[in-house]
Structures are given as structure tokens and as C-alpha cells.
Amino acid sequence: MASTGAYGSWPSPIDAALAASHDGRPEYLGTVGAEVWWTAPRPAEGGRRALIRGRADGTEESVLPEPWNVRSRVIEYGGHPWAAADRADGGPLVVFVHFPDQRLYAVEPDRPGSAPRPLTPLSPVGDGLRWADLRIHPERGEVWGVLEEFTGPRPTDVRRVIAAVPLDGSAADHRGAVRELCDDRRRFVTGPRLSPDGRHAAWIAWDHPAMPWDGTEVMLADVTEHGTFAGVRSVPGGPDESVCQVEWAPDGSLLLLTDADGWWAPHRVDADRLSAGAPADPDRPAGPAARRAFGTPLCPGREEEFGGPLWKIGLQWCHPLENGLIAVIHGTGTTALGILDPKSGEVADAVGPWTEWAPALAVQGDRVIGVAASPRSGYEIVELDTRTGHTRVVGAAHTDPVDPAHYPEPEARVFTGPDGREIHAHIHPPSHPEWTAPEEELPPYVVWAHGGPTSRAPLVLDLEIAYFTSRGIGVAEVNYGGSTGYGREYRDRLRGQWGVVDVEDCAAVARALAAEGAADPDRIAVRGGSAGGWTTAASLIANDVYACGTILYPVLDPESWATDETHDFESRYLDSLLGPAGEFPDRYRTRSPLLHADRVTAPFLLLQGLDDVICPPAQSERFLARVAGRGIPHAYLAFEGESHGFRRAETMIRALEAELALYARTFGVPRTDVPPLELTS
């Protein structure tokens, strides 16, 4: 018989340490010989990313010991940080980015006594040289990728270029030995993809003020016998079309994931349209119709996403197979792994319980390998045998650290917002196998606003959510207008409306849960990090829906964030989210959480990494100064060594326990399993 206790008071085997130990997911898949490799989080090892080697016999091992940290800082969010190739005398040669200094290193893990040796120099300027989206070309004795180079002291004093680094180490102390392959001066680039015959290279580029989900160009170049690029020209793409990935098919055609039709979808440009020296036709009329005519859609009429926002350099939603089929990740809200037949346009999906496939794919013969999760399992490495249709987990296998009866049973729902618009959300009701609440009591809820904001909350098992639901506190993840996964029209709702649409949508879900008797209207909180931190702070200012809030590494001062108080990648993001500051200065002032901190009346917890260059601590400190002495209970926890998003186990434990302590105090629930949170006012 179940025990009875107030919502929020239930005991739970999912403590903060357990939730922290399962934070993060595998990323950046690749195949090395018959093996599958990836990077994995190590919260207990200082938050580093380990490079994991999945051997053919099923065992897994870290290629590099502590403190090696395989993670790139290109555009601050990073990109594919490693590459490998088989050496002529056997065993792999691995090139990787080491996070602390961002240098490229080479190592031969199967050679006894081999230790990482630097391939690139340090830089005395700014934050140095950074690398991402690597490809080793053994025949040239080089590794190619994206070089990000700081040229001055400001965050925007930076250039990015496609470059080649010699594998012999001759550039380890000599910047001049790094070959720049292209003199095209677009602000942002992805790594080049070589055509099957090696004669052409393709990549994606864009410029301020566009973000990559606004508009990009596909760049094409001829590769000379000396390994440089010539005849650089653009093909599809433009101000109103986002191409998020390019790949070459085995027949020499170019595959694109473009949203020209309103959804990211695969298109193909035949090889004869890409003949050497043939630039894009300057007389071809602009606009989506012309671009669609240039690239042939491979599965027209499907209103679902086959791509996503390019937050990291080298994300992969599709991968061609040698037999002409294409592995694709696709869906609306949730995603599946499918095999696309480009001749018929049909997609056959892999069988399995997974509801979310990360943008990471690798192909080895007839095998497709991806990273997938479900509401009952965390992210794991999954292999699809395209000959048999059989799927199996081949790495980072999910194991239940507690009885899965303690996990929530989430429901994907659609709510109605202002003007009748649809709002997508995932509702995680409180649940416990051994506890229930008094019959007349309604549960408290926390509304989660995801970061981005051009992103979304996936429908997967998250032990941070289970940490709350297993204690009797529900969680509502809101994919507010502006979120990805529902087509361009849905994500364009936030253009010029940041701080309005996101705030309204979160409040609409909270009010709907209360109106239907699923949540206690007096015990609803809001929380979010980064852009979700902005939405949380703006929500506490804009309405009285919430009893309290948790704000993590937020944007709080849009005027300074739009000038010199963030990194280069997002330094013009507000041009689309709020509008150019010179044209719409009132929006920056009227929606600023900093300038309207006096409107906050609910208790809040503010969590900040002191090394954060994306949302720097100065904004949090200015916000606190405006709140101080106004009688609003609040707490501020700042963490040394943490940047944008927490990675160290001890930080995540402290932050999660402090958040629970805030809710327990605000909701009037006694708890003795977390330290009390000291609030000042």
C-alpha cells in the first residue's frame, strides 16, 4: 500500500549526485576501422570530455587519460573536435583539440609509448587559435578543418577560415606553416567536404547579422593539384534559406539539407550542375522558387524536419551510404532514424523505442550508427543494420541506476496560446511507485524554458527532471514559439518577439495546467538557462503566474549583450530576436530584465559560471545590484571554473540541491535531504 505525503515531500533514490553523474550525452561519432568512437562527458573528472573507443568486442575505453579534454571552443559552442585515419603500418592516427589551450594534438594510441604531440602553435592574441570539424587527408600529410583566429582583444576581433595543418608537427611552433586553403572572407564557415573524385570541396558559410538558421550559402570550390581552393562560388542558399548540412553522394552529386520549402529537407544537386568553373547563374531570379529549381527535393511534401539549427560546427542529420541510400534523422517534435531512397522518396524508419536521435551519424558499409534516447532511456550509441533492419545498442548503453518506476511518464501535448496559436510542450507529472499525495492536494509544477532560444526540449529521460518528479514536483517543458522541430514558420514566431512570445507561451501552459486541475496555481515556478534564463527573468517581471524562479547563466541586459558583452557568434543574434538596436531601441529597454528588475516580486535563485563569456557574470551582478534592498528573497551562487552550462559534478550537485531548496521553501514543503538555501533581500 502506498504511503501518503504532501507533493514535494516524497523521498527519492534519485539524488543530486546521481543526476549529475548522468548529465550530458555522447557526441561526435566516428568510425575508426571496425570500431566506433565518440566523445563522452566526465562530470567527476573535472567536467572534461573523454574520447571513447568502442572496440569490436563490445568493450569501451578512454583513448586519453585525464586531464586530456577533447572539446573545441570554435564559436564557443564548439564543433567536431577529433578525426582519425589508419596509419600505413597499422593502427590509428588520431588528431584532436585539447580544450584548455585549443591546440591540435596527434597521438597514435596503439603504438607503445605514444603520447600526444602538438600540431598547432599557441597564439599571443586574444583566446588564441581554435579548431573544429576536422578531416585527416593522409595522402596530403595534412588535417583540414575550420580555424578560428583572434586578431585583437575584443570578442568580435576574430576571423574564421578553412585551413590545413601538417601532420609532421612542423606548425607546432610556427603559425606560417598553417596553410589557408581559401581566401573567401565569409564570417562563419564549416569544414570542407571533398567530392568522391577529390576535385571539388563544398562547405557552408554565412555572415553577420544572420544566424545559420536564418540564411546560409553553400560554397563550392575546385581543389587544385597543390591542395588549394580555386573558383570559389556559391550555389543554393541566401538570406531567407538555411542550409544546415552539405554532403557528397557516391555518384558525385551534392546533398543539401535546406529549408527552402519551410522545413529542413534533403535536396540533391546533380554532378553536371557542379562542373568545374561553373559559377551560379547571376541572371537566375532570386527567391525560394529559383532555389528549389536548382536543387531537387528528394522527399517533397513531407512537413517534418530533416535538419536542425547549426549550433555546433559539424552536426550531422544525414549521411549517404555507398549503395545510394541516405541515412536521415527526421520528424516533428520527436525524431527517428530512417533510410531514404532518393529514387522513390520513401523513408523506412529503424525499429526501436527511441524518440530522439542527436545530430550525429556515422556509416560503415551497411551499418548506420547514431546517438539516441527515449523517455525511458538516456542517450546511447545505436547501430542499424540496413540489410536486416535490425537495431542494437553498441556503446554507452543505458542502465537504470534506480528502479525505472521512479521515472516520470511524460506526455507530448499541444496547448493553445494567445491568438489561438499552438504551443508544444512535454508534461512530466509527479510520480512515485510508493508514495501518493492527499486526495484533495494539487501538485506544484516547474515550467522549464529551454535555452537557445532557437532550440527545443527533446522528449527523453532526464534524471534532473526525475529528481523533481520523483519528489512530487511536476515539470512542464515548453517548446515555445521560436523553437525548432516544427518548421520555419513556428520558429520565426520569435522574430522581433523575444521576451513576448516565449514569456506568453510559458505562462499559457502554466495557466492551462492550473485550469484543468493538474497543477496548484499558487505553486508554479519557472526556470531556465541561457536564453531560458532570459525567459525566466522576463517572466518574473511580466506576470504573477509564478511563485518563484531559477535563473541559470542568463541574458539579462540586451543593450550590452548586443554590443561587446558576448561572443562573436551571437553578437548579432538580437537583430532577429528583437530587431536591430538602432531601429528598435525601445524593445531593448522595455523588455530588459535588468532595467525592470524592480518589477520582480517573487523569490529567485540565480546561478552563474564565473568563466562564462557567452552570458558573462557582469550581467548577473548588475541585476543583483538593482534587486538588492528591495525585500525580494533571493540567492546567488557563482562557480569558479564553470562557463556556459555546468559540467563539473560538484557544481551540478550544489546547483540542483539549491534549486530544490528554493522550491521546498517557497511551496511550504519540509525537506531534510538538501542544505537549506540562505536567501537575502
d(CA 446, CA 549) in angstroms, rounded, equals 9
442 and 555 fall within a common domain: yes
In a domain, 30, yes or no: no
**Which cell numbers hold the place of 507?**
505562462
In a domain, 336, yes or no: no
Tens digit of each residue's pLDDT (9 = 90 or more) over 6-26? 999 999 999 999 999 999 999
**Which cell numbers hold the place of 257?**
539539407
pLDDT band at 89 (very low <50, low <70, confident <90, very high): confident
Instruction: Return the ∠ at Cα 371 (arms to 367 and 373), rounded to 5°.
Output: 125
pLDDT band at 87 (very low <50, low <70, confident <90, very high): confident
pLDDT on residue 438: 95
Which CATH number fits the domain that encloses residue 202? Answer: 2.120.10.30
Tens digit of each residue's pLDDT (9 = 90 or more) over 649-658? 999 999 999 9
pLDDT on residue 277: 40
Task: Check whether 460 has a pLDDT greater than 60.
Answer: yes
159 and 280 fall within a common domain: no
d(CA 634, CA 193) in angstroms, rounded, equals 50
Average pLDDT over residues 13-40: 95
Task: Check whether 168 has a pLDDT greater than 80.
Answer: yes
In a domain, 61, yes or no: no
Is-contact 368 361, C-beta < 8 A?
A: yes
Tens digit of each residue's pLDDT (9 = 90 or more) over 299-329? 998 999 999 999 999 999 999 999 999 999 9
Average pLDDT, the chain: 94
Task: Check whether 291 has a pLDDT greater than 70.
Answer: no
589 and 622 fall within a common domain: yes
495 and 449 fall within a common domain: yes
User: Among residues 254, 274, 297, which one ends one of the domains?
Assistant: 297
**Which cell numbers hold the place of 115?**
603520447
558 and 661 fall within a common domain: yes
pLDDT on residue 286: 44
User: Among residues 277, 297, 317, which one ends one of the domains?
Assistant: 297
Which CATH number fits the domain that encloses residue 430? Answer: 3.40.50.1820
pLDDT on residue 226: 86
127 and 228 fall within a common domain: no
Task: Check whether 524 has a pLDDT greater than 70.
Answer: yes
Instruction: Return the ∠ at Cα 478 (arms to 476 and 484), rounded to 5°.
Output: 145
d(CA 488, CA 436) in angstroms, rounded, equals 42
pLDDT band at 1 (very low <50, low <70, confident <90, very high): confident
110 and 149 fall within a common domain: yes
In a domain, 383, yes or no: no
146 and 193 fall within a common domain: no
In a domain, 41, yes or no: no
Is-contact 157 168, C-beta < 8 A?
A: no
Other CB atoms within 10 Å distance of the CB of residue 464: 18
User: Among residues 297, 316, 351, which one ends one of the domains?
Assistant: 297
Task: Check whether 280 has a pLDDT greater than 60.
Answer: no
DSSP 239: T
More confident residue, 226 or 550: 550
100 and 138 fall within a common domain: yes
Q: How many domains, in total, are found in the chain? A: 3
441 and 530 fall within a common domain: yes
In a domain, 554, yes or no: yes
482 and 596 fall within a common domain: yes
Task: Check whether 219 has a pLDDT greater than 90.
Answer: yes
* Structural domain boundaries enclosing 567: 3-15+402-667
Task: Check whether 288 has a pLDDT greater than 50.
Answer: no
d(CA 326, CA 315) in angstroms, rounded, equals 16
In a domain, 342, yes or no: no
In a domain, 599, yes or no: yes
484 and 633 fall within a common domain: yes
Is-contact 147 163, C-beta < 8 A?
A: yes
Residue 513 — φ and ψ, nearest 5°? -60, -40
DSSP 116: -
Residue 305 — φ and ψ, nearest 5°? -95, 130
